[in-house]
């Protein structure tokens, strides 16, 4: 399976002067242009995809729609692709109009503690990793020999690294991903060596056309 994970375009929650807390916001004008540039460029690099998945948060949805149009393929929305802290302990999403606020500590600092401590039943970093692991393993069952694109969030891509590299709870390396950047994992069947290959990370050539990163 070839798995391409793409972070959403710039959202209002990514802006340095954003002061409205954790909310389910769509793309900025720049984010819309990033998503359009991605959709114009990607089919020239990946001519065929078998399935397109996306987080159910607005910024990922708005990034996925131009890709769906470019490939003439439906979007499979999946709550497990939501950003960390936006789902409950049982992996179901918090209501989009009532998202919890993050605590003062980073998830990797206290991986077994809820990162939204003011709200009962908030998920921890480890709960987040479990739901992503379940998503990835489900992909392998459904799409073993296929090419998949998943439009998601920076935290989702970061914890996917932890899953495929088998990283423990306390992380030592932060994996940063730019808006609309592409990460490419390849899963291969091999009886005596690694099954996952990381081929590329943070590809943003499509942004050259609009002179942004």
- In the chain, % helix, strand, coil (3-state, to 5) comes to 35, 20, 45
Query: Higher pLDDT residue, 17 or 95?
Result: 95
**What confidence score (pLDDT) does residue 211 get?**
64
- The most confident of 18-27, 125-134, 189-198, by mean pLDDT: 125-134
Statement: residue 213 has pLDDT above 60? no
Rg (CA), the chain: 17
Instruction: Please state the rounded mean pLDDT for residues 175-189.
Output: 96
CA distance 129 to 100: 18
Statement: residue 69 has pLDDT above 60? yes
Confidence category of residue 113, pLDDT binned at 50, 70, 90:
very high
- What would the pLDDT profile of 18-46 be if each residue is shown by its tens digit? 888 899 999 999 999 999 999 999 999 99
Query: What are the structural domains, with CATH classification, of the chain?
Result: 2-210 (3.40.50.1240)
Q: And the tokens for 128?
A: 């987040």
């Amino acid at each position: 399976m070839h798995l391409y994970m793409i972070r959403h375009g710039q959202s209002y929650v990514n802006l340095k002067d954003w002061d409205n807390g954790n909310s389910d916001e769509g793309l900025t004008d720049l984010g819309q242009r990033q998503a359009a540039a991605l959709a114009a460029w990607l089919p020239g690099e990946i001519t065929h995809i078998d399935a397109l998945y996306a987080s159910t948060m607005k910024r990922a949805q708005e990034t996925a729609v131009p890709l769906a149009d470019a490939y003439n393929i439906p979007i499979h929305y999946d709550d497990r692709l939501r950003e960390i802290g936006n789902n409950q302990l049982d992996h179901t999403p918090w209501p989009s109009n009532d998202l919890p606020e993050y605590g003062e500590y980073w998830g990797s600092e206290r991986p077994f503690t809820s990162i939204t401590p003011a709200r009962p039943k908030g998920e921890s970093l480890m709960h987040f990793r479990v739901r992503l692991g379940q998503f990835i393993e489900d992909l392998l069952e459904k799409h073993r020999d296929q090419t998949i694109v998943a439009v998601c969030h920076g935290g989702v891509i970061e914890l996917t690294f932890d899953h495929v590299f088998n990283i423990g709870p306390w992380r030592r390396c932060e994996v940063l991903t730019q808006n609309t950047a592409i990460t490419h994992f390849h899963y291969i069947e091999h009886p005596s060596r690694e099954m996952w290959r990381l081929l590329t990370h943070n590809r943003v050539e499509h942004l050259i056309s609009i002179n942004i990163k």
